[in-house]
Chains A and B, each alone.
Chain A
Amino acid sequence: MIKVEVDMTKCQHYGQCVFEAPDIFRLNSDDKLEYTAEADDSERANIEAAIDVCPMQAIHIVE
């Protein structure tokens, strides 16, 4: 399993991560980011792509 962490003091809810890892990240009905904190190892490439496109660099994988 991979543990995903989003620094919500940095996150500005741009939602760019949603396109890269749609099974992990989504915007709720208030346009705020929600995410799944534990992901299968098969999601690693998608989560790394989401980390890359985050304008605030708020997403981390906790190793």
Chain B
Amino acid sequence: MNHPVVIVGASMGGLRTAESLRRFGYLGPITVIGEEAHKPYNRPPLSKEVLANEVTHEAVAFEERAATADVNWVLGTRAVSLDQEHNTVTDSSGMVHPYSALVIATGLRPKRLNLANGDLAGRHALRTLDDAINLRAELTPGADVVIVGGGFIGCEVAATAARLGCDVTVIHHSAHPMLRPLGTELARQMQLRHEAEGVRFLLNRSVVGVSGDSRIREVQIDDGSSIKCDVLIEAVGSDSNTEWLESTNIDLSDGVLVDSAMRAISTSGDFIPNVYAIGDVARFANPIFDDVPRRVEHWNIPTETAKRATSVIAAQLNEDEKLEKLLQDQFKPVPSFWSDQYDIHLLAFGSLSLSDTVTLVAGDVTGECVFEYHRGDQLVGVCGIGMRSVVQSYRAKFI
């Protein structure tokens, strides 16, 4: 009867789930199944330090704690199916893992462009350490680097590649890079700062094709033009890793729908006993903003959702009488994110992309500055370049 808690996904969310289970007093067995061969590591450096230097897994690995020394890591293995009736997960080696509680932490993978000639060498996406190591080998001085997608990842990679001496072009679907989250004034300013570093932008444009022999040599743009390309980096968003759950009745319309206790919700709207989801793949409502469930791809969310899920799981498995009260608690983590591009440090709290108006409230956009993001009368976010103490002082307004 003493089946392990099985965590599917061995990235930061999976690790924080294991650690947090121990912190909440769960002493039983824990199994973590992960597709990558590496133990959990920190992803933010992948678009920066790891691309610029010789960085090993050891340098980015999360420190291991004594409390989780007995976790059973099943790495280099994917979960392929979930049997809800028998409470088991089957992995790609055919092993069946019975669980007392299941935590889905499978996260996202990069979307890829759908291109004829798609098997040419020189195409990259960036999500894993191995992706970063492969890309690093190609970012040589003078290389023509084309980045499709001017979001945060695309812009961070553009900054790193420009500083490495590459000739960088960013192709983006809207009028400025990072426009949707940052708003026009800040997004335009970030564009200017990139351009001052030599990055070229093709805006309101998309890629329609690639050509070359065995490697990519040219990228075709939707205005009929072509540009030289040695390295193509596709930073065009992500898809949820939920295919292995498709035979279940879980609501997978965008990631895994969960309630405020991170319990998976079925297509008929009921919570599923003993199945939870956390991290990038979990779609939950945040009462700070409204009651609309959304997936949140910020770095602090795996840790926050892991904490929430494990407080409930530990209480459930330990038959703790606090469980009922715990389930009544609101879950409203303050989204927090940052981005480093050159020496520019962006720091933000809240959910900028929900806003309809953006207002400069401190500083000067050409130097250090702070912007407020409102939806109607409601403050939904704050973002600054520098001026950290001012930006930080806003966090309390969301709690």
CB-contact partner of A55 in B16, B338, B387, B389, under 8 A:
B338
State whether A53 touches B303 (Cβ < 8 A): yes
State whether B299 touches A31 (Cβ < 8 A): no
Closest to B338 in A: A14
Complex alpha-carbon distance, A62 and B347, angstroms: 29
Return A54 CB to nearest CB of chain B, in Å: 9
Which residues from 370 to 390 on chain B have a C-beta closer than 8 Å to any C-beta of chain A? Answer: 386-389
State whether B392 touches A27 (Cβ < 8 A): yes
Closest to B340 in A: A12
**Contact of A24 with B by CB under 8 A:** no
State whether A12 touches B345 (Cβ < 8 A): yes
Chain A hits for B44, CB < 8 A: 55-56
Return B322 CB to nearest CB of chain A, in Å: 18
State whether B388 touches A57 (Cβ < 8 A): no
State whether A57 touches B338 (Cβ < 8 A): no
State whether A15 touches B388 (Cβ < 8 A): yes
Chain A hits for B392, CB < 8 A: 15, 18-19, 27
Contact A52 B388, CB 8 Å, known A14-B347, A16-B300: no
Per-residue CB proximity of B245-278 to A under 8 Å, as 1/0? 0000000000000000000000000000000000
Complex alpha-carbon distance, A53 and B12, angstroms: 11
Complex alpha-carbon distance, A11 and B78, angstroms: 34
Per-residue CB proximity of A40-63 to B under 8 Å, as 1/0? 000001001001110111001000
> How many pairs, one residue from A and one from B, have CB atoms within 8 Å of each other in the complex?
44
**Contact of B63 with A by CB under 8 A:** yes
Complex alpha-carbon distance, A11 and B300, angstroms: 17
State whether B63 touches A57 (Cβ < 8 A): yes
Per-residue CB proximity of B70-96 to A under 8 Å, as 1/0? 000000000000000000000000000
Complex alpha-carbon distance, A15 and B392, angstroms: 8
State whether B388 touches A27 (Cβ < 8 A): yes
Return A59 CB to nearest CB of chain B, in Å: 10
CB-contact partner of B63 in A16, A18, A27, A51, under 8 A:
A51
**Contact of B140 with A by CB under 8 A:** no
Interface residue tally for chain B (C-beta within 8 Å):
24
Per-residue CB proximity of B283-308 to A under 8 Å, as 1/0? 00000000000000001100100000
Complex alpha-carbon distance, A56 and B43, angstroms: 10
Chain A hits for B395, CB < 8 A: 19
Closest to B345 in A: A12
State whether B336 touches A16 (Cβ < 8 A): yes
Per-residue CB proximity of B47-83 to A under 8 Å, as 1/0? 0000000000000101101000000000000000000
State whether B388 touches A13 (Cβ < 8 A): yes
Chain B hits for A53, CB < 8 A: 300, 303
**Contact of B189 with A by CB under 8 A:** no
Complex alpha-carbon distance, A61 and B23, angstroms: 17
Closest to B20 in A: A52
Which residues from 1 to 41 on chain B have a C-beta closer than 8 Å to any C-beta of chain A? Answer: 16, 19, 23
State whether A31 touches B340 (Cβ < 8 A): no
**Contact of B353 with A by CB under 8 A:** no
Return A41 CB to nearest CB of chain B, in Å: 15
**Contact of B42 with A by CB under 8 A:** yes
Apart from A12-B345, A18-B392, A52-B303, list 7 A-B contacts with CB within 8 A.
A13-B388, A15-B389, A16-B300, A16-B336, A19-B395, A55-B299, A57-B63
- Interface of B with A (CB < 8 Å)? 16, 19, 23, 42, 44-45, 60, 62-63, 65, 299-300, 303, 336, 338, 340, 345, 347, 386-389, 392, 395
Which 3 residue pairs across A and B have the least CB separation, nearest first? A31-B388, A57-B42, A52-B303
21 contacts between A and B (CB under 8 A): A12-B340, A12-B345, A13-B345, A13-B388, A14-B345, A15-B388, A15-B389, A16-B300, A18-B392, A19-B392, A27-B389, A27-B392, A31-B389, A52-B16, A53-B303, A55-B42, A55-B299, A56-B45, A57-B42, A57-B60, A60-B63
